[in-house]
Structure 1
Amino acid sequence: MSATSPKPFNLKDYPVVIGIDFGTTYSGCSYAFVQNDEVIDIVRWPKQHSNVYPKTPTLNFYQGNSKQMTQWGNAARLEMQRPIARNSVLLKQYKLYLDENIAKDLPPLPNGLTIVDAIADYLNAFHGHVVSELKKGFAKNYGQHQFRYCLTVPAMWSDRAKAAMREAAIKAGLIDASDHRDRLMLISEPEAAALYCEKKCEQFNLRHGDRFMICDAGGGTVDLIVFEIEEGRFGRKLKECTKGHGQSCGSVFLDRRMRKLLKKKFKEYLSTIPASAFETMMDTFVDLIKPQFDGVDDQFIQLPAAMNLDSLNNPAIGLEDGTLVVSAQELKTEVFEPVIRDVLALIEEQLVKAQTMQAIFLVGGFGSSNYLFERVQQEFGARVGLVAVPPRGELAVVRGAVYFGLNPRIVTTRIPRYWYGIDTTTTFEEGVDPPSYRIVRADGSVRCDNRFSVYVKRGVPLDIDNCVSKDFFAYYPHHTTCTLYAADTEDQPRYTLSPGVRKVANFTIPMPALTGVREGEKVDLSIKMYFGEVELRVEAVIKGKTYGTTCTFDAADS
């Protein structure tokens, strides 16, 4: 977070809103002109002929051990298939590095790349293509300096992960570091999907006070969140009513299980099957079997010619005449059910929290899986009036991002996923506080160090404008720093050193030049923190003027 630029943000300067859904496996983009609200999808992507799927793969190609990305998207996939690409790097599913629960188990990125580099490389090329597509359409009358952006992020990401995404977008050249921060907004993926479903739900006849759940099932993650519709004087607004929950149990986990199943079947032949032939079989699963599998029909995979098998029949593994038959039962138990059971458990948990619900919308690429729909319907159809997949569910997130960019105040209430607080000292309680935290002040008072002073309570709804203001003082002309802590524990933590509490960031409040104030003089200041938005925002008020703060995320703590 950089210091807020003094010039006010004027929406009229940015007549074009671009929504970008940077996904684990695929990324998409839509845009709109502010004056007419019609959302247009980018459907043409380099080296992609079929317009069946309106998104492009999230892939970066690096030649050898270079840090220069030379291809991206589908071109990266094609490049990797060329014989000369043997020692090159195809970077995929790297978005998972920003999920702190998974990142600790992942190997370091190759070629000395950081996660911000990888995302910035991709966004830079992706954005270049988007701009050229816009220039072919009605946007040719506008310059890139008139675009503003809305990027989507998983609901379960930490503040540090969101800050890394903003840093990557700046590094990719979408906006400048000196631009007003609102030129680039972040929105959580299920929230974006909710805006899209709410727009499309005239046909589902949801009314004031009704609650609906978004189950956004993508490649890497499944995110859930429950919203309540509020009809007010100014139209419909959405209120988040459960602390959303997400887990990395998206459809790439189906791919991993399928890969295991194929390896098990062909285990005697593995040494002779070329990797490319194996990938061809996996492509059949990903493109054809996964989306339309319904749990009833057996599935067939035509073996690629390059398999090098001595015989085209092997009844033991279901190989008949060069076609591998995978039974519906086998796909259910080995591939689909373990992942889908995770998703059903997440839905159950949100349903219990929300108590009543009128609809469940399945969105995202995995959300359009027939089998997932069947299982959710079977499990929850009787308890929830409607289980539905909105039209173009795989674009729900990116179209919703554009709606949010057009009207950022449409989501009025959010529920924080963490306790937030700062470190303070308070009166020492004998028998409760550990003796090692005990401090005796010069005036004889006994204080307890490392106490967690709560700014925001986890799970308690916050309005979008919610601002926590605390008063401090500093000695002129010194800058003040303040460390923010967060915890996702069930109970409010007592100490900043309690288990589950981690340092989120250090905020530096720069001391402005003040006339008539002597060195060493006390200056009163209040620190205002806004927690109701998608990203944390911290400002300082000194002598009636508001200043932005700089925030550093301490990577060592992740």
Structure 2
Amino acid sequence: MDSASSTFDNLLDDLSDLALSYKDTRDSLIIALDFGTTYSGIAYALTTDPEKVFTIDSWPGGDRNAPKTPTALQYGSGSVTNLKWGYELDRLEGEKIQHIKLLLDPEQPRPYFIPTNIEAEMAKLPKPVVDVASDYMRAIFEHAIKEIEGHFLVPELLHNFDKQYVLTVPALWSDKAKDMTSRAAEKAGISPVDMITEPEAAALFTLKDVKNKGLKVNDAVVICDAGGGTVDLISYEILSLAPFELRAITKASVMVAFPGAVAGSSMIDRNLEEEIRKAVGMKRYQNALKEFAIAIKPGFRGKDDRDKYLSFPMAKLEDNPANGLVKNSMTLSGATMFRPFEPIAREVDRLVGEQVSAVKIERLQASPPNPNGVKAIFLVGGFGSSDYLAKAIQNSNPGVTVIQPKEA
């Protein structure tokens, strides 16, 4: 679950529940890390006021508040201790270490934008992958602690709280990968840690206010968490509203790679990279992609959509009308946007359809049979915010409500 537009709210409800569970013991600070393929985020709550959950939105090197920071780092020349991470790398030359999370489970299928030669990729690391992951976790947590201290009138009061940690992991993470992730966290001083799967975290947040979404006991829902590197899907039945209880109807399914592509927003960014690089060159495309991800991608509606524009102020670029570049501004037509969006949306739509069918079959085979199918489909994650994806899934499921929760 990892994209720039997606916040750590996927864990907020679970984080609040965990804070409540510690309420009868010494006051605790609960810190949750969404360790993503491309972006990571942190949220926290205090057991003294567990209903209030805060997110970290200020990051080193960042030029704006954002709920997440890139999951990337770079060691200084000849050093394995001096490092820069996250948005700090935007202004640095040289090779970045990215997609650390996927290297923790080499047996998982690779998204197409990750090198397939895992041995070669890991051999380039300056230290074991567990230590690299640990360095990133330590950096992001130390920054988070400084930010949290800033919320106290007397920062030293923070030391009076016990610390508890929550960490998201993919649904199909192997036991070996879970152990490596746990060891990386422990090396970073993050212990003890409770792990929660990404689909569970998404479901807990998405369904925390089911009554206001028109849902009731026995309704079935599909959660589709379409992030930057993967698409996670799972279906639940609502057992109770107070206390809130769910039952998984289907097994979690995770799409990391499909023929030649990845079912996630990183694929879209990569496809558009080719369009942009032709027009502006390698150095400027990264800033363009950032603007695209924040301001353009979520609102795309189809190939007949109106033109969108990416500006390159003071770039002094030569006009290239064939590629839509005129006066340092690049035009992205609906047709240009449609090419990378359509195959991914089609594949995600197929995956959602499989979940809808599985729920229908499971319920009809129950005793007694339940003729009711899926009531709602929730789209969360970076690509889950796409208007185009929501429209495609709604068209395929006309009797089902498609919901895109805000800040999910």
Give TM-score, length-normalised by structure 1.
Answer: 0.59
Task: Give the match for residue 151 of structure 1.
Answer: 167
Secondary structure of the equivalent of 1:108? helix
Task: Give the match for residue 525 of structure 1.
Answer: none
Unaligned runs of 5+ in 1: 1-8, 176-182, 267-272, 394-558
Mapping 1:458-473, distance limit 5 Å: none
Task: Give the match for residue 404 of structure 2.
Answer: 389
Mapping 1:76-225, distance limit 5 Å: 76-78=89-91, 80=92, 85=93, 88-99=94-105, 100-102=108-110, 105-106=117-118, 107-109=120-122, 110-138=124-152, 140-143=156-159, 146-175=162-191, 183-225=192-234
CA drift of 1:151 comes to 0.4
**Distance across 2 between alignment mates of 1:41 and 1:122:** 18
Two-structure CA RMSD over aligned residues (Å): 2.5
Mapping 1:388-407, distance limit 5 Å: 388-393=403-408
**Distance across 2 between alignment mates of 1:11 and 1:20:** 24
Task: Give the match for residue 235 of structure 1.
Answer: 243
**Distance across 2 between alignment mates of 1:122 and 1:365:** 22
Deviations 1:184-211 (A, max 9, x none): 1110111111111221222113211111
Secondary structure of the equivalent of 1:101? coil
1:262 maps to which of 266, 276, 282: 276
Task: Give the match for residue 469 of structure 1.
Answer: none
Deviations 1:385-410 (A, max 9, x none): x21111211xxxxxxxxxxxxxxxxx
Mapping 1:326-475, distance limit 5 Å: 326-333=332-339, 335-355=340-360, 356-380=373-397, 382-384=398-400, 386-393=401-408
**Distance across 2 between alignment mates of 1:133 and 1:140:** 13
CA drift of 1:307 comes to 6.2
**Distance across 2 between alignment mates of 1:222 and 1:144:** 40
1:316 maps to which of 322, 330, 333: 322
**Distance across 2 between alignment mates of 1:210 and 1:242:** 14
**Distance change (3 Å), C-alpha of 1:89 and 1:319:** closer
- The letter of the residue matching 1:368 is S
CA drift of 1:14 comes to 6.0
2:289 maps to which of 273, 282, 291: 282
**Distance change (3 Å), C-alpha of 1:24 and 1:307:** farther
User: Is residue 28–residue 161 contact of structure 2 (8 Å, CA) maintained in 1?
Assistant: no
CA drift of 1:98 comes to 3.6
User: Is residue 60–residue 69 contact of structure 1 (8 Å, CA) maintained in 2?
Assistant: no
1:22 equivalent in alignment to 2:27:
no
**Distance across 2 between alignment mates of 1:65 and 1:238:** 51
- The letter of the residue matching 2:328 is G
User: Is residue 224–residue 232 contact of structure 2 (8 Å, CA) maintained in 1?
Assistant: yes
**Distance across 1 between alignment mates of 2:332 and 2:81:** 41
- Structure richer in strand, relative to its length: 1
Secondary structure of the equivalent of 2:354? helix
Secondary structure of the equivalent of 1:358? strand
Secondary structure of the equivalent of 2:96? strand
Q: Equivalent pairs: percent with the same residue?
A: 36
Secondary structure of the equivalent of 2:121? coil
**Distance across 2 between alignment mates of 1:167 and 1:303:** 44
**Distance change (3 Å), C-alpha of 1:370 and 1:45:** same
Q: Report 1 or 2 for greater relative contact order, CA contacts < 8 Å, sequence distance ≥ 6.
A: 2
**Distance change (3 Å), C-alpha of 1:236 and 1:308:** closer
User: Is residue 308–residue 332 contact of structure 2 (8 Å, CA) maintained in 1?
Assistant: yes
Deviations 1:450-477 (A, max 9, x none): xxxxxxxxxxxxxxxxxxxxxxxxxxxx
Secondary structure of the equivalent of 1:199? coil
**Distance across 1 between alignment mates of 2:89 and 2:336:** 33
**Distance change (3 Å), C-alpha of 1:168 and 1:366:** same
- The letter of the residue matching 1:298 is D
- The letter of the residue matching 1:327 is S
**Distance across 2 between alignment mates of 1:303 and 1:292:** 21
Secondary structure of the equivalent of 2:58? coil
Say which one has the larger Rg.
1
Secondary structure of the equivalent of 2:344? helix
**Distance across 1 between alignment mates of 2:72 and 2:246:** 34
CA drift of 1:225 comes to 0.7
Secondary structure of the equivalent of 1:348? helix
Secondary structure of the equivalent of 1:186? strand
User: Is residue 23–residue 47 contact of structure 2 (8 Å, CA) maintained in 1?
Assistant: no
Task: Give the match for residue 10 of structure 2.
Answer: none
**Distance across 2 between alignment mates of 1:283 and 1:15:** 37
CA drift of 1:20 comes to 1.0
CA drift of 1:64 comes to 2.9
User: Is residue 137–residue 185 contact of structure 2 (8 Å, CA) maintained in 1?
Assistant: yes
- The letter of the residue matching 2:83 is T
CA drift of 1:303 comes to 4.0
Unaligned runs of 5+ in 2: 1-21, 257-262, 361-372
CA drift of 1:113 comes to 3.1
**Distance across 2 between alignment mates of 1:169 and 1:15:** 19
User: Is residue 14–residue 148 contact of structure 1 (8 Å, CA) maintained in 2?
Assistant: no
**Distance change (3 Å), C-alpha of 1:323 and 1:308:** closer
Task: Give the match for residue 436 of structure 1.
Answer: none
1:64 equivalent in alignment to 2:77:
yes
**Distance change (3 Å), C-alpha of 1:14 and 1:150:** farther
- Structure richer in helix, relative to its length: 2
- The letter of the residue matching 1:174 is I
User: Is residue 280–residue 304 contact of structure 1 (8 Å, CA) maintained in 2?
Assistant: no
**Distance change (3 Å), C-alpha of 1:336 and 1:207:** same
